[in-house]
Amino acid sequence: MRKDRPSRTALKVALNIVTLGSKPGMEAILPAGIVDATRKLLVASGAAGERTVKWSQSQTSVAIYDAFDWMLPGQFEAFAHRKAFCERQVREGIDDGTTQILVLGAGYDTLGWRLAPEFSGVNFFEIDHPATARLKDRGIKAMGRQKNLRLIAEDLGKRKLSDVLTTDKSWDQSAPTVIIAEGLVMYLPPEAVRDLFCQCGAVAGGGSRIAFSYIPTGADGRPDAGRWTGLMLWLQKVAGEPWLWSIRPEELGQFMAELGWEANFSQGDLKYKYGVEYFAVAKKKGAPIVFTNTNDSQDRFIME
Ligand SMILES: C[S@@+](CC[C@H](N)C(=O)[O-])C[C@H]1O[C@@H](n2cnc3c(N)ncnc32)[C@H](O)[C@@H]1O
């Protein structure tokens, strides 16, 4: 992705959520309060103007998204299912005793802001690239930030997750944690994805889980977005956020096992797919690895 400007794909997901809020029937799928919170966040952060947000709520906008479904069938509604899937993992995790939530590549996601007041005994952390995180922080401050929500601005391509979190006094490496990596891993190079999953296992305690979405690999070895894959890959590249990693769903279990995670432990079905993406959840295996900080870079920037 372009390092100097806020993420366009994060904005696209957020505007998509706003539009889904105007589509009949989607209220049964979208997490409660997500549409209002996203609308407020976009305006308060300056990520989008009021007119853009209003346009996104219009029936014309719904019709345009619906019309584009021929290109990527199911992709419009997939974002609602993705948000619902991730929130379900967080709520189930909290029911099971999770005390920490970490949202990686959070973009303009509002899960932390909405759930922090409801679960005051749980610490919510978000990490995103500085260009996006700083803008979001402005919005969250304007909307009122709970003490148990921390926004961290960091380029995870530059600095290891374990280094970022082990220098944060409020992070507890032994706590059971739910980690969310929604719409993130496809933008990272393969070695960074492996490293990220390893790091996630290292920073979280036993009983932790990670929920994520990914793009499947097609027969030609490229990320598979269906019939219009070539055009999609080109558009992503032109937008400066190309898809760099994908995996065949049937290979995910083995891939995750090598990195210390038991994939889809509760679903038993790896083919959990909406639009072009698969959703997966994995549970941490074995004992936690304890990391000590090795690289406290000047670039680090924690928002208070
Ligand atoms: C497609 S957006 C998804 C946003 C959010 N997860 C959602 O679904 O609403 C991808 C996000 O990953 C973030 N991201 C990409 N590369 C990153 C990196 N190297 N370090 C931190 N964040 C990164 C982008 O800034 C962007 O917010």
Work out the angle at residue 53's Cα, subtended by the Cα atoms of residues 49 and 55, and round it to the nearest 5 degrees. Answer: 115
Q: Report the C-alpha gap between 201 and 42 in whole angstroms.
A: 32
For residue 129, pLDDT beyond 60: yes
For residue 81, pLDDT beyond 80: yes
Find the residues whose C-beta lies inside 6 A of ligand 1.
1, 7, 9-10, 13, 105-107, 109, 128-129, 132, 155-157, 182-184, 187
User: Taking a C-beta distance cutoff of 8 angstroms, is the pair 113, 141 a contact?
Assistant: no
For residue 119, pLDDT beyond 70: yes
Output phi, psi for 48, to 5 deg: -145, 150
* Range of weakest confidence among 106-115, 168-177, 249-258, 295-304: 295-304
User: Taking a C-beta distance cutoff of 8 angstroms, is the pair 184, 105 a contact?
Assistant: yes
Average of per-residue pLDDT across 75-103: 95
Atom 2 of ligand 1, nearest CA residue: 10
The pLDDT tens digits for 164-214 are 998 899 999 999 999 999 999 999 999 999 999 999 999 999 999 999 999
The pLDDT tens digits for 17-71 are 999 999 999 999 999 999 999 999 999 999 999 999 999 999 999 999 998 888 8
Q: Which of 109, 84, 85, 80 is nearest to 22 (CA)?
A: 80
User: Taking a C-beta distance cutoff of 8 angstroms, is the pair 89, 178 a contact?
Assistant: yes
pLDDT at res. 271: 57
The pLDDT tens digits for 95-117 are 999 999 999 999 999 999 999 99
User: Taking a C-beta distance cutoff of 8 angstroms, is the pair 155, 299 a contact?
Assistant: yes
The pLDDT tens digits for 221-234 are 999 988 888 888 89
Model confidence band, residue 264 (pLDDT cutoffs 50, 70, 90): low
Output phi, psi for 179, to 5 deg: -110, 135
DSSP E strands, the chain = 100-104, 123-128, 149-153, 177-181, 209-214, 261-263, 273-274, 277-284, 301-303
Ligand 1 mutation pick, 4, 18, 187, max ligand atoms within 8 A of CB: 187
Model confidence band, residue 238 (pLDDT cutoffs 50, 70, 90): confident
pLDDT at res. 298: 29
Q: What is the pTM of this model?
A: 0.91
Q: Report the C-alpha gap between 287 and 267 in whole angstroms.
A: 23
pLDDT at res. 76: 92
Ligand 1 mutation pick, 1, 30, 102, 232, max ligand atoms within 8 A of CB: 1
pLDDT at res. 288: 43
pLDDT at res. 285: 86
Q: Which atom of ligand 1 is nearest to the CA of 82?
A: 8
The pLDDT tens digits for 138-162 are 999 999 999 999 999 999 888 899 9
Q: Which atom of ligand 1 is nearest to the CA of 13?
A: 9
Residue 277's beta-bridge partner residues? 274
pLDDT at res. 239: 80
Q: Report the C-alpha gap between 275 and 265 in whole angstroms.
A: 23
pLDDT at res. 186: 94
